[in-house]
Amino acid sequence: MDTRAVYTVHENGKDFYFYTKYAGGFSYPFEAADYLRGLKDALRRPRTGKQDICAAPLLAQMKGTYFFPDALKDKILFTEITKELAEDMEKEAPFAIAVDLEQDTVAFHFNDKYEELNDLTDVVLPRADLADSYNGAAFKNESLSRQMGKTSMTFHQTNERIFRELIQEAAGREQTEGQQMMWGGL
């Protein structure tokens, strides 16, 4: 599957834009959000001065982990781009992903130019939320537990398939007013 994506990361009232050939899809956006959340938490630790340091620009330094195919291990996954370039690239990329570090959410916009994504509805999901079973952390746990059995697909293929099923299920449930997306012109 084509995993190109344009990411918008919202933090401290600012938006940052990135392009990736590898981290679109269904599970990878949660990995990126977890990476950024870990950095944000580390930057919050007591430090001298009161400056607000953004973790978002550091997404350009994220490398592939064991949750990515072996060929991407230790490979830089993201390139920072301008807002204008992001808007142009979103028209052609299969996925537009919005990571909101203030709300701790991951939003998926599926480009309807891609037939394999036509059955999916845009959705905003919590990165991790103990009160909601539809979130990235719960999806990861579900995926890992399902993979305990034997399968003819690779770990990465199975992971993507399971995350797709879970995202589709989450998008199918009735959206509350608080989960409505702010995609603007998309």
Encode pLDDT of 42-60 as tens digits. Answer: 887 666 566 678 999 999 9
Overall number of domains in the chain = 1
Tokens of 37: 């959340």
**Does residue 185 sit within a domain?**
no
DSSP conformational letter for 11:
E
Predicted local confidence at residue 51, as pLDDT: 67
Check pLDDT > 80 for residue 153: no
**Does residue 137 sit within a domain?**
yes
**Does residue 184 sit within a domain?**
no
**Does residue 81 sit within a domain?**
yes
pTM (two decimals) = 0.79
With beta carbons less than 8 A apart as the criterion, state whether 40 and 111 touch. Answer: no
Residue type, 80: E
> pLDDT: is 3 or 147 the higher one?
3
Question: What domain range includes position 62?
Answer: 5-179
> pLDDT: is 145 or 183 the higher one?
145
Average pLDDT, the chain: 83
**Does residue 186 sit within a domain?**
no
Q: What is the helix (H) or strand (E) element at residue 83, kind and residue range?
A: helix 83-90
Q: Which of 22-36, 44-58, 63-77, 124-138 has the highest mean pLDDT?
A: 22-36
Rounded CA-CA distance 141/162 in Å is: 11
**Does residue 168 sit within a domain?**
yes
**Does residue 74 sit within a domain?**
yes
Using a pLDDT cut of 70, give the percent of the chain over it.
79
**Does residue 59 sit within a domain?**
yes
